[in-house]
Amino acid sequence: DAGVTQSPTHLIKTRGQHVTLRCSPISGHKSVSWYQQVLGQGPQFIFQYYEKEERGRGNFPDRFSARQFPNYSSELNVNALLLGDSALYLCASSLATGGGDTIYFGEGSWLTVV
């Protein structure tokens, strides 16, 4: 069975541009979360979606947005990119929400902003 898949795996953007990152959860999983991991730090929670509704939001500016589609895949969008947005963006999926479920991470999307 396929795990959590993310695309693209690597990308380079210029300051001020926009980026869209995509995630397909494990089959049967209805919850998708996004995390940002800056070099030397642990992952930081950005969003969680469950059944296409936002269930949690971390301390990130409004430039960050996300959505979940009927097939439970998800997109993370970041507008007006800053150099500090350079990071590994991780998608995680789980069966449901509210704690207790094992959470599985994708391999991530490496974003470099120049």
Partner 1 sequence: RKEVEQDPGPFNVPEGATVAFNCTYSNSASQSFFWYRQDCRKEPKLLMSVYSSGNEDGRFTAQLNRASQYISLLIRDSKLSDSATYLCVVTPYGGATNKLIFGTGTLLAVQP
Q: Name the site residues for partner 1 (rule: CB under 8 A).
A: 31, 33, 35, 40-45, 48, 50, 55-56, 58, 90, 92, 94, 97-103, 105-108
Smallest gap from Cβ 7 to partner 1, in A, equals 14
Nearer to partner 1, 15 or 105 (CB): 105
Smallest gap from Cβ 108 to partner 1, in A, equals 6
Q: Which helix (H) or strand (E) holds 110?
A: strand 109-113
Nearer to partner 1, 33 or 74 (CB): 33
Give the Å distances, CA to CA, from 3 to 58, 87, 91, 107: 24, 22, 11, 9
Nearer to partner 1, 70 or 98 (CB): 98
Distance CA 91, CA 95 (A): 14
Q: Which helix (H) or strand (E) holds 67?
A: strand 64-68
